[in-house]
Structure 1
Amino acid sequence: MAEDQSEDILEEKQGSETKKLLLIIIIISVVFLSIMGAGFYILWNRVSPPDPQIAQEESKIKEVEKAKSEIRPIYSLDTFIVNLADRGATRYLRVTMDLELSSDETKAEIENRLPQIRDTILTIVPAKSSKEITTIEGKKALRDEIMDKLNSFLKDGSVTNIYFTEFVIQ
């Protein structure tokens, strides 16, 4: 009987040692696999190229922030008074604009091309009806159209924004 008890105790010790060894192996395996997974994740994100759309959006955001932080030269134009393209009623627009320029060199070109600039504006604005330009979207569209047309013939720089300092429809 004493032998049976000693064998049972010996088997229990060996069983508990085997269980401990198995538990240690499992823990080491889980830790190892976790480290491998984290390493693979980090490596994959560094090696894979960034999404081009995200990169493009980030560059646009940086350009806008840079443009907002820079103080650019402003060229003030004389007031324009033009008839609008309304049917049935005679309406006119009195508008004064300031042009934000990309550089000081552009200011000299604006002064040299002033007749062409005034002609361009006097061609675009009378083609609009009061209904088109009374909304915020209409004013933005008018601003963008004028800016695109002016930038199409400027060589030394560009108009980066147009500010309406007076905008009265009667």
Structure 2
Amino acid sequence: MAEEASLELEDNVEPKSKKKLILFGAIGVVLVAIIAITVWVLLSPSAANDDAQVEGSTAEQAVVNTGEAFYAAMPRPFLFNLPDNGRTRLVEIKVQLMVRGVDDDTLIKKHIPLIEDALLTTFSAADIQKMSSPAGKDELRLLALRNVQNTLQPVTGRTVVEKVLFTGFVMQ
């Protein structure tokens, strides 16, 4: 009788292990299928995603360029001498640059020595008679803007400065 009980237990063990094997096999197949589908979905439209990302980054740059205005002040005023009919006149100009977005503001601060060089070169080549009139100051401001943009273009790869503003202008 003990032998019959042990035989019955042994008979019951075999079908359970086969059921477990089939169950684990089915779970494994399902997991492999899920992983394969996930990999296929993530990798197959990659070309379309790359194009969308390029278009998105271009649109993002346009948004940044039309974003909030930031004003970067030059750390020191520009102080230089200009000749005027036999005498030398001292000129001091305080400048701020208008940019769009935080990224451009950070970029301007990084390239301040380059910008100062472009502005000082522009200001020191100016005509004192033109600087005495409002139209001459506007012309000098536009010339300074063009020179700063032309100087930064090769370094940054884009136009960063939108306006050059004179916040102080003294001639003696």
Residue 107 of structure 1: CA displacement? 1.6
Alignment CA distance shift 1:126-1:90 (3 Å): same
Contact 2:96 2:167 in 1 (8 A): yes
Residue 72 of structure 1: CA displacement? 0.2
TM-score (norm 2): 0.54
Which position in structure 1 is the counterpart of 2:116? 118
1:125-162 Cα shifts (integer Å, max 9, x gaps) = 11113211111111111111111111113325421112
TM-score (norm 1): 0.55
1:68-101 Cα shifts (integer Å, max 9, x gaps) = xx64000011211111243411101111011111
Contact 1:130 1:169 in 2 (8 A): no
Gaps in structure 1 of 5+ consecutive residues: 1-66
Alignment CA distance shift 1:96-1:76 (3 Å): same
| Residue identity opposite 1:168 in structure 2 | V
User: 2 CA distance for matches of 1:165 and 1:80?
Assistant: 11
Which position in structure 1 is the counterpart of 2:71? 74
Gaps in structure 2 of 5+ consecutive residues: 1-65
Alignment CA distance shift 1:101-1:85 (3 Å): farther
User: 1 CA distance for matches of 2:122 and 2:167?
Assistant: 18
| Residue identity opposite 2:107 in structure 1 | E
Identity between Structure 1 and Structure 2 (%): 25
User: 2 CA distance for matches of 1:92 and 1:129?
Assistant: 13
Residue 110 of structure 1: CA displacement? 1.4
User: 2 CA distance for matches of 1:75 and 1:93?
Assistant: 21
Residue 103 of structure 1: CA displacement? 2.5
Secondary structure in structure 1 of the residue aligned to 2:167: strand
Contact 1:103 1:157 in 2 (8 A): no
Which position in structure 2 is the counterpart of 1:98? 96
User: 2 CA distance for matches of 1:106 and 1:85?
Assistant: 36
Higher strand share goes to which structure? Answer: 2
Secondary structure in structure 2 of the residue aligned to 1:128: coil
| Residue identity opposite 1:97 in structure 2 | V
